[in-house]
Amino acid sequence: MHNFKLEIEYDGTRFHGWQVQNGKETKTIQHVLGRVLKKILRQDIKLIVAGRTDSGVHALSQVANFKSSTKIPLEKLRWAINCLLPQDIKVTRIQAVSPDFNSRFCAKSKVYRYTILNRKYSSALLANRVYFFHHPLDAGLMRREAKFLCGRHNFKAFQATEARLRNPLRTIKRIKISKEKDFLHIDIEADSFLYNMVRNIAGTLLEIGRGRFPKGSMRKILNSGDRKLAGPTLPAKGLCLIKVKY
């Protein structure tokens, strides 16, 4: 039995996230990919994923692994998988890994990017890939405030209120806010993330950048642990899993 690691790219617009859900099996990344693997390998496949993305969230390099006794050459296997997958899901790489590799538990950190299109008019081509915001944003102030989030903290203020109770301690290793023409990118690398954590942080930074939250707000919100004090949850379409680090 061999252990295979997949790197997967997908546009999450028409899917109900990664994980198979009751009544939504045909609209999840896991179900579609698992069905293709079963057809090619002629066996039930258990896919283990690095992190479950939510409905509408995209991935540049999601990671999953599965075990199989297949002897199909890796490049031929990747080609066969991609031939059967829809256009909005593709396997970019497949490799044999050690038997004890687990895409979830072996991951050291994940990098997510939230993209804001910051100009006076929206984009027809990127409507499902970015969040459009027409008010001017102070990127410099956003960078200064974001620094307070780096390190190990209680991120309860940025956890979805409807989420089940989980340990809110997380370590943010890096936050980078960059401008590329009309695009503002918020890159966050952490050991793991709470439900809606990136989208809530992005919403808070947006309120700071537009001037609704004063200087020093990020530290106060973080220390408060109160979700009501933080900014809105920005739409899923602007969020993309960039990389999983091992």
CB count within 10 Å of CB 86 equals 12
Report the distance separating Cα 232 and Cα 206, nearest Å: 9
| pLDDT tens, position by position, 33-65 | 999 999 999 999 999 999 999 999 999 999 999
% the chain with pLDDT above 70 = 96
Kind of pairing between the strands at 2-10 and 169-180 = unpaired
The CA–CA distances, whole Å, from 177 to 3, 58, 180, 206, 233 equal 37, 19, 10, 11, 18
Q: Which residues contact 71 (CB under 8 A, 6 or more apart)?
A: none
94 CB contacts (<8 Å, ≥6 apart)? 4, 5, 6, 7, 74, 77, 78, 81
Those residues with Cβ within 8 angstroms of residue 20's Cβ, 6 or more apart along the chain or in another chain:
28, 30, 31, 34
* Structural domains in the chain, sorted by start: 2-97 (3.30.70.580), 109-245 (3.30.70.660)
| Spatial separation of the C-alpha atoms in residues 58 and 8, rounded to whole Å | 10
Q: Hunting for tokens 């039930």 — which residue is that?
A: 44
Q: Give the pLDDT band of residue 154 (cuts 50, 70, 90).
A: very high
Rounded to whole angstroms, the Cα distance separating 57 from 35 reads 21
How distant is the alpha carbon of residue 48 from its chain centre?
16
* Residue 40 near residue 84, CB atoms below 8 Å: yes
The percent helix, strand, coil of the chain (3-state, each to 5) is 30, 30, 45
Q: pTM value? A: 0.94
Q: What are the pLDDT digits (tens) for 84-129?
A: 999 999 999 999 999 999 999 999 999 999 999 999 999 999 999 9
Q: Confidence class of residue 16 from pLDDT cuts 50, 70 and 90? A: very high
First to last CA, the chain: 23
Q: Which residues are catalytically annotated?
A: 54
Question: 3-state SS string over 133-156?
Answer: CCCCCCHHHHHHHHHHHCEEEECH
| CB-CB contact of 185 with 210 (8 Å) | no
pLDDT tens, position by position, 173-223: 999 999 999 999 999 999 999 999 999 999 999 999 999 999 999 999 999
